[in-house]
Amino acid sequence: MNPKENKLGTMPIGRLLISMSIPMMISFFIQALYNIVDSMFVARISEDALTAVSIAFPLQQVITAIAVGTGVGVNALVPRFVGRGDLHTARRIANVAVFLSACYTLVFAIIGLTAIHSFYTMQTDVPAIVEAGTQYLTIVCTICIGAFFGQNFEKLLVATGNTLCSMAAQATGAVFNIIFDPLLIFGIGPFPQLGVRGAAIATVSGQIVATIVAYCMLRWKEKNIPLSFRYMLPSLPVLKDIFSIAIPSMITVGLTSAMSFCMNQILLAFSTTATAVFGIWLKLQNFSYMPIFGMNNGTIPMISYNYGANRMDRVRETIRLALKVAVMLMAVLTIIFECIPGVLLMLFSASENMIAIGTIALRLLVLSLPLGAVCLIISSSFQSLGYSRYTLIVNLCRQLIFLIPIALAMSITGNLSLVWIAPALAEALSVLATLYFRRKLNAVFDL
């Protein structure tokens, strides 16, 4: 094994966590910034356009869920088998995941060409929202090759210790997107004015650019895990290994899609503005959790490698340090958001009505951040240790089992402000579930 692989088992945990996580945090921050900037530019078209993009979020999250879920499988399994000295299996897993990405791309291209208009008409009858949303989401689904292959290549870079390369790939794609968003939306200079279609084209183009960069980085940096057709033919044992982690991860990420869809239906009973506010919150929440997602991407190969090498002392230290850092970061962000909700809303060209609704909403919704950090860090360790089902249950609790019934019960009162309390209450109950599963694993791994 080369030094990049050995450092997962030899470098001091504090230094290793920094070297593995900081590049991922930066790349995720840039990704989240692009999502926010994208919505900011779309909001300047009209509030209906912003609502259309907010309604598109659930289906976009399905794409993300499948891509990230498969990537997490690669990120957890490749270093585990490398830690055991089984390079052949590690290579098979990495290459079969590439084959799966091709299959996913074909399926969603078909969905993009056939089902998007119906997806919108089943949620709203406002013609401007349906038209804008159909234009936007058709492009995002049909040209999704970058979403799937990009995630796969980037996670493989992380799994092999090349986090700086992964950061470079994600950052390049995001910067490309941020630059071309306004050019294509508003028709600046030689570019045509495409509105929401321009936002979609900038999104898929940025994903493709990131994919190309990540692929080139893999060919240049990683020799032990080559991408080759001879390793890509799927086999049942390899598929079982990948999907044993990927499916719970897919469902975990996809829960955001189901949650968003259900919350949109609850909030549409109040107003389309309430739905737009919740769409803004999802962007801000995603931005806030980027350090956690980056840290998780760094800690998963650390935990997996040391678990495979039977170094449980390093596993324990990794989890504890990551948890402390995550909670402190989210506490700071909570304080900042509580102080400037109006400023955040004005970034999205908010109307007076949106500011009135959104100020109350953000101050209540942001209370969920520190609690969510506890769930995310601890539950990601379950995946690395082979207990993905616990991760799945925790996230089911966070986004469906607790959240939707609480939000629905609050909505029956007719008081919109009470609905915004639901995420914090759901996260508090989910922390209890997370700690329960952590206690069960203590008996197995002495965590």
Tell me the three state secondary structure of residue 440.
helix
> Is the pLDDT assigned to residue 1 strictly greater than 60?
no
Question: φ, ψ for residue 343 (rounded to 5)?
Answer: -60, -45
* Cβ atoms 279, 268 nearer than 8 A: no
Question: What tens digit of pLDDT does each residue of 7-44 get?
Answer: 777 788 888 888 877 877 777 777 677 677 777 888 88
Q: How confident is the model at residue 5 (pLDDT cuts 50, 70, 90)?
A: very low
Distance separating alpha carbons of residues 299 and 169, to the nearest angstrom: 20
Question: What tens digit of pLDDT does each residue of 365-375 get?
Answer: 999 999 999 99
pLDDT at residue number 201: 94
Average pLDDT over residues 296-317: 82
Q: Categorise residue 350: left if φ over 0, alpha if ψ from -120 to 50, beta otherwise.
A: beta
Percent of the chain whose pLDDT exceeds 90: 36
Give every CB contact of residue 333 below 8 A, 6+ residues apart in sequence: 288, 366, 369
Q: How confident is the model at residue 6 (pLDDT cuts 50, 70, 90)?
A: low
Question: What tens digit of pLDDT does each residue of 90-148 get?
Answer: 888 888 888 999 999 999 999 999 999 998 998 888 888 899 899 999 999 999 999 99
Question: What tens digit of pLDDT does each residue of 393-437 get?
Answer: 998 999 899 999 999 999 999 999 999 999 999 999 999 999 999
Alpha helices in 115-195 (DSSP H): 116-121, 127-142, 145-159, 163-186
Q: How confident is the model at residue 347 (pLDDT cuts 50, 70, 90)?
A: confident
pLDDT at residue number 446: 64
Q: List the helix and strand counts (H, then E) for the chain.
A: 19, 0
Mean pLDDT of the chain, nearest integer: 86
> Is the pLDDT assigned to residue 296 strictly greater than 50?
yes
> Is the pLDDT assigned to residue 305 strictly greater than 90?
no
Question: What tens digit of pLDDT does each residue of 226-285 get?
Answer: 777 777 877 888 888 888 878 877 876 777 778 888 998 999 889 889 988 998 898 889
pLDDT at residue number 308: 76
> Is the pLDDT assigned to residue 3 strictly greater than 60?
no
